[in-house]
Structure 1
Amino acid sequence: MTADPRKSDPGLYDYWPYENRPKITWPDGRKLAFWIAPNIEFYELNPPVNPQRKSWPRPHPDITPYSYRDHGNRVGHWRLMELMDAFDMRGSVSLSVAMCQHHPEIIEACTARGWEFFSHGIYNTRYIYGMDEAQERAILEDSIKTVQDATGQRIRGYLAPALTHTERTIDLLAEYDFRYSCDLFQDDQPQPLKTKSGKRLISMPYSLEVNDHYAYNVYGQSPRQYTDLLKRHFDTLLAEGEASGTVMCIPLHAYLVGRAHRIGPFRDVLDHVAAHRDDVWITTAGEIADYYLQHHYDTALADIRAKTAKGRG
């Protein structure tokens, strides 16, 4: 029985084995492009109901998880930002765009530091599931305009709110001139994505495995275990980057890593990364995307097409 690829694969990218790809060389010959993604989010206390997924597990008002997450905006983010300042590391903010109205002080502080912003939807409690095309377009247009008005930046990246999508999300990102998506977790290097318009869009490595949400809330790790995980992940990607440049992202949530008992161990991670500055490009997702699109996208796409055609031959 022959499998129908339309039912087994969404067709957003081609299979492209890790070995024997064209070599990626990052600026100044660095082996690893490293970026930090603080998720700066707003969780509504009583959001509109999405029939496919509940925002809060208990009846309204479920104030416990709401206030637990609110700690990030009130305390944790400022603690994390101060730590990143100490290592001269900028963030690429996965932004609930409504934060521009709810807590503009945070947006202003990030902007003053030269941090990048990319869209994480309007609220992390409003899911894309079931939206029609007009609704999804409205979210992208709102994201572009709101961040532009608040910061002067034109956002070029996207991570769907609560990782929720429709079948058209990737194509809409390309149509609206986004450059990268963080919604796919298939690789440790950027990869060209397939879009109906043919516009260039890449998948930016953004790992759930090293996300502090998974470390603390899913895997139940201690701060020291999480520190060890991040160091081992970094060391492997740095070693592999000798052959061809790799990417490491650390996705963070200030209400988790920014807690008083966790920030110290996380400092050890940044200290470990900083000790390898000669080999590591410490940058933002937008700068990685721009460099890759300029220097490596065309070569990668040609290699993918050649190997795909050979596999079918």
Structure 2
Amino acid sequence: MDLFDYSPITERPPISWPGGARVAVYIGLNVEHFLIDRASTSIWPGTADLVPDALNHGWRDYGARVGIWRTMRSLDRHCIRASVLLNSAVAEHYPQIIAAGLERDWAWLAHGRTNSILQAGMTLDEERAFLTDVVETITAATGRRPQGWMGPGLTETFNTPSLLAELGLGYVLDWTNDDQPYALKVPGMLSVPYSVELNDLLVFGKGFTGPEFLQLVKDQYEQLSADSEHSGRVMALALHPFVIGQPFRHKYLDQALEYLASRPDVWLTTSDEIAGHYRESSTRTAGRPCG
């Protein structure tokens, strides 16, 4: 089953971002809940199958208890609204995080119920019920219906985009195969760029240091800015508070955000606004008469 068409980036109508910006930058902030009796993302595989797994669960839990608040200060310092990839269980377990995000007008994307449960392998009816519960829980907690989705572990079924469209969502982040938004074959659904490369979980998991992370951010921006001479690009910076929120990494995130905020051709925005602008400009282009 094909979810999207092949489209070389060299053969598309140009994208223009607001204010003449060349690179639309958003911060994908993963705000997650993990079950204490289920294996999930781990820093040390040696204990990952134990119940309870104090080592790995504690590492993950640091994000909600400490790391998110440290990361939040850097976002505030540079006046950046996060695009929050939100497990719906966060609303129950960490309501203070929801309250802090509402004060900051964060954009809220649905990110499953917890990052310990994937919807891979669900039947159509099971997934419909699962996604409905996730979306309705986030809507009730934040006062707004999420516009975007990213699956826990970037997982989907072939039914996910159409089920999300039924629920009123308009884009997904799971397909990390482009530097620009593009339309899926499901009517009304877009793919918006996300990154598994410029992603703290993967970067630091491969042994990169804080200064190297900062250089990666600069290199990513510089190349995308050069690429965008005739058509805008998207730069996603994926963050996990239990990774980037560690004390010895914090200053390098702050320096990276300061660098991005100082670039004159950057539109510091949210994934919601990127999807909305792309959808609106694509509609105008499609409706423009020839000649």
TM-score by length of 1: 0.86
Percentage of pairs with the same residue? 37
1:257 aligns with 2:248: no
1:141-173 Cα deviation digits (max 9, x unpaired): 112211121111110110111222222112212
The aligned counterpart of 1:283 is 269
Aligned AA for 1:169?
Answer: T
Q: Report the 3-state secondary structure (helix = DSSP H, G, I; strand = E; otherwise coil) of the residue aligned with 2:157.
A: coil
Q: Report the 3-state secondary structure (helix = DSSP H, G, I; strand = E; otherwise coil) of the residue aligned with 1:266.
A: helix
Aligned AA for 1:210?
Answer: L
Equivalent in 90, 93, 109 of residue 84 of structure 2: 93
The aligned counterpart of 1:220 is 207
Q: What is the rounded CA distance, in whole Å, between the counterparts of 1:270 and 1:281 in structure 2?
A: 13
Q: Report the 3-state secondary structure (helix = DSSP H, G, I; strand = E; otherwise coil) of the residue aligned with 1:138.
A: helix
Q: What is the rounded CA distance, in whole Å, between the counterparts of 1:212 and 1:27 in structure 2?
A: 28
Summarize the alignment of residues 129-278 of structure 1 with structure 2, pairs less than 5 Å apart: 129-195=120-186, 199-217=187-205, 219-276=206-263, 278=264
Task: Extract structure 1 runs of 4+ deviating beyond 6 A.
Answer: none
Q: Report the 3-state secondary structure (helix = DSSP H, G, I; strand = E; otherwise coil) of the residue aligned with 2:204.
A: helix
Aligned AA for 1:191?
Answer: Y
Structure 2: tracts of 5 or more residues without a match: none
1:223-259 Cα deviation digits (max 9, x unpaired): 1111111110011112222210110110100010111
Distance change >3 Å, CA 48–CA 213, structure 1 → 2:
closer
Q: What is the rounded CA distance, in whole Å, between the counterparts of 1:175 and 1:113 in structure 2?
A: 29
Asked if structure 1 preserves the Cα contact closer than 8 Å seen for 2:39 and 2:48, the reply is no
1:23-71 Cα deviation digits (max 9, x unpaired): 100111111111001100001011499xxxx9x8322111111000100
The aligned counterpart of 1:307 is none
The aligned counterpart of 2:48 is 57
Cα shift at 1:271: 1.4
The aligned counterpart of 1:30 is 21
Asked if structure 2 preserves the Cα contact closer than 8 Å seen for 1:31 and 1:279, the reply is yes
TM-score by length of 2: 0.92
The aligned counterpart of 1:12 is 3
Q: What is the rounded CA distance, in whole Å, between the counterparts of 1:143 and 1:155 in structure 2?
A: 10
Aligned AA for 2:247?
Answer: A
Asked if structure 1 preserves the Cα contact closer than 8 Å seen for 2:83 and 2:270, the reply is yes
Asked if structure 1 preserves the Cα contact closer than 8 Å seen for 2:135 and 2:145, the reply is yes
Q: What is the rounded CA distance, in whole Å, between the counterparts of 1:175 and 1:48 in structure 2?
A: 31
1:93-115 Cα deviation digits (max 9, x unpaired): 00111000000000110111010
Aligned AA for 1:133?
Answer: L
Distance change >3 Å, CA 256–CA 300, structure 1 → 2:
farther
Structure 1: tracts of 5 or more residues without a match: 1-9, 303-313
Distance change >3 Å, CA 48–CA 75, structure 1 → 2:
closer
| Mean Cα deviation higher: 65-74 or 20-29 | 20-29
Equivalent in 80, 103, 120 of residue 71 of structure 2: 80
Cα shift at 1:297: 5.2
Q: Report the 3-state secondary structure (helix = DSSP H, G, I; strand = E; otherwise coil) of the residue aligned with 1:108.
A: helix
Q: What is the rounded CA distance, in whole Å, between the counterparts of 2:207 and 2:225 in structure 1?
A: 27
Q: What is the rounded CA distance, in whole Å, between the counterparts of 1:298 and 1:60 in structure 2?
A: 55
